Structure 1
Amino acid sequence: MLDLASIDVEEIAAALADPTDYDHRWLLDPRTGEVVFWTSDTGIDGENPIEIDELDLILIDPLPSYIWYRDMVDFADGISNGTARRRLAAALEGRGAFRRFKHQIYDSFPDLIPYWHAFRDVRAHGRAVDWLLENELIDDDAAAKFAADHPEPTLP
């Protein structure tokens, strides 16, 4: 088992959110917890191409976009300001929801930016810890302690 304190949970969260085109992938070394970036052209060292299946590393497959979309919906639903809640909810309808949601927060409700970042990050980091647990790289106690130490923030 890896020591959760020595793992870059933020980096794993970023990898889980990075939609892949299979020309690049994120991987984790199960011995050290180090996250590495692989490309089909330059391998993991930036110079030597290597087939991904030749590496003794664990692929970090990105999560589907609907999971990240759900975060935006939950955030919008949790806002007490009725105008902000309605405009964010409307931004989430149809194609381009991620872009419209971002524009609403940054352009119309900049006071919500730190709340959105905190909310998004806690959820993303929690998913990274869940991924580590599912891959049997940390134990249940470490995951439970992380969850207890990183509750979702209160929304305005």
Structure 2
Amino acid sequence: MLRLDRVDIEDLATALADQTDYEHRWLIDPRTGEIAFWTSDTGIDGENPVELDELDLIPIVPIPSHVWFQDMVDFAEGISDPEVGRRLAQALHGRGAFRRFKNHVHEHHPDLISVWHAFRDARAERRAVEWLQDQGLIDEESAQQFAADRPDPALP
């Protein structure tokens, strides 16, 4: 089992959120907790191609986008100003919702940028720790303590 402080939770959260279609993979070393980035052209060291099955690393499969989308919905619903919440929710309709939501926050509600980032990051980090537990890399007690220590921040 890994100690939770040996894993870069922020990097793992980034890997779990990576929805790009490029030919790359994020991996974790189950012995050290180190996160690696692999491509077919440059391997994991950026220079030497290597096949994934030659590595003793665990692939990090991204969490589906609908989970991250729900974070935006929950954020919009949690804002105390009904008009702001309604406008944020409107930004989520149709294709391009992620970009529209981000743009709306940045252009019309810059006071919410840090609040949104804190909200999004808290959820992403809890998901990363849940993923570690699901992979059997950390114990349940560590995962539960991490989640208890990092609730969603209060929304204005």
Give RMSD over aligned pairs. Answer: 0.8
User: Post-superposition shift, 1:22?
Assistant: 5.7
Describe the SS at the equivalent of 1:44.
coil
Normalising by the residue count of structure 1, what TM-score does the alignment of the two structures yield? Answer: 0.98
Q: Which residue of 2 aligns with 1:154?
A: 154
TM-score by length of 2: 0.98
- SS in structure 1 at match of 2:36: strand
Query: Which residue does 1:129 correspond to in 2?
Result: 129
Deviations 1:86-143 (A, max 9, x none): 1000000111100110011000001111110000000000000010000000000000
SS at match of 2:123: helix
Distance in 1 (CA, whole Å) between partners of 2:64 and 2:30 is: 23
Give the gaps of 5 or more residues in structure 2. none
Counterpart contact for 1:20–1:62, Cα < 8 Å: no
What is the SS of the residue equivalent to 2:120? helix
2:142 corresponds to 1:142: yes
Q: Percent identity?
A: 65
Distance 1:16 1:33 in 2: 15
Aligned to 1:38: 38
Cα 1:135–1:22, aligned 2, differ >3 Å: closer, same or farther? farther
- What corresponds to 1:49 in structure 2? 49
Paired residue secondary structure (1:41): coil
Q: 1:148 to 1:69 in 2, by over 3 A?
A: same
Q: Which runs of 4+ in 1 moved over 6 A?
A: none
Inter-partner Cα distance in structure 1 for 2:115 and 2:19: 24
